[in-house]
Amino acid sequence: MSPPAAESYLSDGRTLWSWLTTHDHKRIGVMFLVLTLFFFFLGGLFALALRIELLTPGRTVMGHLAYNRMFTLHGVTMVWLFMIPAIPSAFGNFLVPLMIGARDVAFPRLNLASVYLYVLGASVALWGMFEGGADTGWTFYTPYSTTTGTAVLPVLVGVFIIGFSTIVTGLNFIATVHTLRAPGLTWMKLPLFVWAIYGTSIIQVLATPVLGMVLALVALERVVGAGIFDPARGGDPLLFQHLFWFYSHPAVYIMVLPSMGVISEAVSAFSRKNAFSYRMIVYSTLGIAFVGFFTWGHHMFASGQSTFGSGAFGAMSMLVAIFTAIKIFSWLGTLYRGSIAIESPLLYTLGFMFFLFFGGMIGVAYATTSLNLHWHDTYSVVAHFHFIMVGATVMAFLAALHYWFPKMFGRCFPAKLANGAAVLIIFGFIATFVPQFLLGNLGMPRRYADYPPHFQSLHVASTAGASLLAFGFLAIAGYLAWSLRHGALAGDNPWGSEGFEWRSASPPPTHNFSTPPQYPTGPHEYSREEVPHAA
């Protein structure tokens, strides 16, 4: 006799043990969400510490050594523990099977293993960072990373382990999309978020092993003096940069492609229109995933490479901008004359488009070798990648969190508060990062704890912006936590979305669907009714 079916995946076993041993992709997604949010919070605290140190010239709250360790803590936490897993592992896990009408991912046990690998890797890396405090920055550049006396080794090992979690997740999604689509759900009917996760998974599977290899080589160099990167032993430090960026440039698309998928969903849902040019979005997703592998040299214009090489890498980089522009035009085309609902996910979506556009345009300028030499290693690079990684990716993460919160937990959140927080966050981002472009252009180098007094006003502006951001994030954490228990019941489809994931209950039952869903039409097919208010 089988036990009675639980109401939802949340009520199917309430013990901690039932969570720790679950094979349900939705619970695994929620676990990743909680874990990545925790590291986002931690990385945010480290960022505030950096901004406080930079409030005044000279020593403010910490010395130079502590500063170096602090920006390493911040970078390692944000990039490896938050950005890379956040959207694919949390929302991808929760949504991909729901969106393709499957009961679970292809390898549920492996999926659970990816949580444990992630926790293990994160613990080892954090332990190293607190124990000896690595001071290399998140990029582990040689020769410094092979000679410094700080605890680089555990951090490398931690990131190496997290790499396996990433690879396993990517493999799982590829297998899932290939084999578990519901009958009738052809490739050209896949929701755009699924396409984005699919493109991301390809990068994860192909690029992450290169990262593992280069980390292992640095470890070898530190432990037995292998002489691969050390010129004194006949090695080549530039080789490190080639290998590192061969992974890390595609990795920036591990951070941004899933965001683009979120945005494609949100734009359709909140303008009640079918995606303008679905196929162009799909092809540009695959285009970015492909071209992203041939652009790494734009990180090395200033470290010595042939003029031809620099020109070729510059041109390839600009191709990415073209694919991105295609997406931006398609989103704008979707919004144009739609029945637009100003809800928090849409506010974050607009923020995302703004930051992606400006961050990307500045990326094009950097990919121009001559301009790059002026800005390289200055604060303006810091501003560029924060515009895209924080401005755009975190915006998309927040859009996803607000859009799918009712799906995941069956509750709504206070809409007015959420809209207020979104506006605060967007202004906070602008105030934090625009001054950094100006600082960099004036010559403020990155990764310095100190600066001449005439830079102070811009630093103060940036720190003030960061405080606004912190305040906004606390507000979001507050009302979402409150809504988990006290929010109004959402009903199955509170936004009236046509997205396939809304065809199951909110929160979904353990095996996702009580009756197998049908797919007579493509995704995002709206006849433009008004969007009901979710809260």
Would you tell me which residues interact with ligand HEM (CB under 6 A)? 139, 252, 255-256, 298-299, 317-318, 320-321, 360, 363-364, 366-367, 372, 375-376, 381, 384-385, 388-389
CB atoms within 10 A of CB 332: 12
Q: 3-state secondary structure string, 139-172? A: CCCCCHHHHCCCCHHHHHHHHHHHHHHHHHHHHH
Q: Tell me the CA distances in angstroms from 362 to 9, 233, 271, 355, 526, one per residue in order.
A: 44, 39, 29, 11, 35
For residue 244, the surrounding DSSP H or E stretch is helix 237-271
Query: Taking the complex as a whole, how short is the minimal distance between the CB of residue 84 and ligand HEM, in angstroms?
Result: 11
Nearest to 492 by CA among 503, 476, 483, 484: 503
- Nearer Cβ to ligand HEM, position 27 or 376? 376
Peptide bond into 258 cis (omega under 30): no
- Nearer Cβ to ligand HEM, position 125 or 269? 125
Query: Taking the complex as a whole, how short is the minimal distance between the CB of residue 298 and Cu ion, in angstroms?
Result: 5
* DSSP-based three-state secondary structure for 56: coil
* Window 41-60: contact mask with Cu ion (x via CB under 5 A): --------------------
Beta bridge partners of 45: none
Q: Which does 366 bind (CB under 5 to 8 A by kind): Cu ion, ligand HEM, none?
A: ligand HEM
Task: Choose one: 244-252, 321-329, 454-462, 483-491; the region binding Cu ion (CB under 5 A).
Answer: 244-252
* Cβ atoms 314, 369 nearer than 8 A: yes
Q: Which does 390 bind (CB under 5 to 8 A by kind): Cu ion, ligand HEM, none?
A: none
Query: Taking the complex as a whole, how short is the minimal distance between the CB of residue 307 and ligand HEM, in angstroms?
Result: 16
The structure tokens 């523990």 sit at 81
Contact between 376 and Cu ion per CB under 5 A: no
The structure tokens 């493509």 sit at 522
* Cβ atoms 165, 80 nearer than 8 A: no
Q: Which does 327 bind (CB under 5 to 8 A by kind): Cu ion, ligand HEM, none?
A: none
- Nearer Cβ to ligand HEM, position 298 or 524? 298
Task: State the chain's maximal CA–CA distance in angstroms.
Answer: 76
Q: Which does 367 bind (CB under 5 to 8 A by kind): ligand HEM, Cu ion, none?
A: ligand HEM
Query: Taking the complex as a whole, how short is the minimal distance between the CB of residue 372 and ligand HEM, in angstroms?
Result: 5
* Cβ atoms 493, 393 nearer than 8 A: no
Query: Taking the complex as a whole, how short is the minimal distance between the CB of residue 357 and Cu ion, in angstroms?
Result: 18
The rounded distance, in Å, linking the Cα atoms of 271 and 353 is 15
- Nearer Cβ to ligand HEM, position 171 or 318? 318
Contact between 384 and Cu ion per CB under 5 A: no
- Nearer Cβ to Cu ion, position 208 or 349? 208
Name the DSSP class of 446. Answer: S
Contact between 249 and Cu ion per CB under 5 A: yes
Query: Taking the complex as a whole, how short is the minimal distance between the CB of residue 265 and ligand HEM, in angstroms?
Result: 19
Position with the least CB separation from ligand HEM: 363
Query: Taking the complex as a whole, how short is the minimal distance between the CB of residue 368 and Cu ion, in angstroms?
Result: 14
Phi, psi of 228 (to 5 degrees): -85, -40
Which spans of this chain sit near Cu ion (rule: CB under 5 A)? 249
